[in-house]
Structure 1
């Protein structure tokens, strides 16, 4: 059994068809089929159910997928450990929640200093990003602090305050209790915090509207579509311009900490080590 056999097996399991897996590896389909048959013969068991829609894993295939993910992850960690050098280089895939306003400055500092690093940035909500780091799909992520999985380690980045925002038409907090709630999808800590406040106040939002970007949420609040709960640093310019107004909630709902998470068992390459050092150098408290 070769590493490539396991990589092909994982691709077929993920894509669900020989055709799509062949495209990923730039192989002819017969090569992919032969590799799968070879693996099944070695293990003396079918790994896939074949049907007109494609291929799905058998119970034995699902077991192999769990082991192959661990084996290939260890292979990557081994290569990183052996090939690691002092100069950061190669790929660095980082996730972030949408509202880390200080992130561009941090990334700019890092990229300007380490020009051989190919850094990619992906956005999402805290829960989704945590899952991606756990499953080795991201090297790390900037998220809101919560009760993380024990396989993750976190590094403090900064603290700040969440505020309830609305347009200028309703001057009091009381008048906003029945307004539609504009938010990110489930898994967003900001959303969970405001939902907690709603519950404690015995409030049922008139409507909950999910959006994909912070910009759309802010524009919708400006237009009076509803209220949202966001970091104060993200909307200071809008408040100063008189486009929205902020309403303060008690500290138990409003105080948050942004942290950088990574797998505790991942080999700390010079690329990641320098990235963490950059975070530590830029760490500050937002008030």
Structure 2
């Protein structure tokens, strides 16, 4: 059975003060206490450790061999204790901690790199755990307290969620330069339904939107290929396997490098609203509140 520790941090602080000043009286003055209290605590510390730490004489005090050994250890322990205290206090003030942020691929590619980089510079003690999910899964995770904050596209129909407008992104249609629609500049989405579409997973918000728009046109989506990312959509379109609908800002580098043609979608819904979400009616941790405020202002 392990023995319990029989002294506390205050005992070590007083011992270090006496060792550094060479005097119980001066140590008491530095520690804002009375000499008799310092003397008693050190005597109790020696009794608990079962060895003398100080040599007391008329001109002050010196260290025994045991006291000298304890001094180095005590200084290190006190510094570690101060660091622990600062770290734990940081959690209460939001200066330290971890925030779980779930976001869809549009937000991750388009908006979060710069926002999280600036947040990290301002709050180096806060770690952000970022995961990519589709919007419905993000909303569920926030409500169920799996995630602290989320960024979703469109407006999920879920109780217990507070939504704040975050950013907008514009959808566009990608085709190859030799595609029949390539010279149009602007097209209606219904016009693209005559061609195969390189799609995203069925659980994605963008897929659900395209499926609704196709149904409103009395058509169905022709999806011979599904991929999991916007860069993969660009690659498949470049290979001639279909057309693709992607956010403008998330895919501009791929479009340029692959020589694709981006056509504006002449639809109101092509301008999508992204929302920052949190649990409704519940306070965030101080760290999460700092990130929430930063994202709202960034």
State the TM-score, normalizing by the size of structure 1: 0.63
Measured after TM superposition, the shift of residue 238 of structure 1 is 3.8
Q: Distance in 2 between matches of 1:235 and 1:194?
A: 18
* 2:259 equivalent in structure 1: 243
1:125-274 matches, within 5 Å, as 125-172=134-181, 176-241=192-257, 243-274=259-290
Gaps of 5+ in 2: 1-88, 182-186
* 2:129 equivalent in structure 1: 120
CA 1:175–1:198: 2 relative to 1, 3 Å: closer
Contact 2:231–2:254 (Cα < 8 Å) also in 1:
no
Contact 2:154–2:272 (Cα < 8 Å) also in 1:
yes
CA 1:144–1:272: 2 relative to 1, 3 Å: same
Aligned pair 1:89/2:89, yes or no?
A: no
CA 1:177–1:246: 2 relative to 1, 3 Å: same
Q: Distance in 1 between matches of 2:213 and 2:224?
A: 15
Contact 1:197–1:253 (Cα < 8 Å) also in 2:
no
* 2:118 equivalent in structure 1: 109
Q: Distance in 2 between matches of 1:83 and 1:264?
A: 25
Indicate the SS of the match to 1:121.
strand
RMSD of aligned Cα (Å): 2.4
Indicate the SS of the match to 2:291.
helix
Measured after TM superposition, the shift of residue 264 of structure 1 is 1.2
Q: Distance in 2 between matches of 1:241 and 1:110?
A: 31
Measured after TM superposition, the shift of residue 105 of structure 1 is 0.3
Contact 1:193–1:254 (Cα < 8 Å) also in 2:
no
Q: Distance in 2 between matches of 1:99 and 1:275?
A: 19
Larger Rg: 2
State the TM-score, normalizing by the size of structure 2: 0.61
Q: Distance in 1 between matches of 2:157 and 2:119?
A: 26
Measured after TM superposition, the shift of residue 240 of structure 1 is 4.4
More deviation in 172-181 or 87-96?
172-181
Contact 1:160–1:231 (Cα < 8 Å) also in 2:
yes
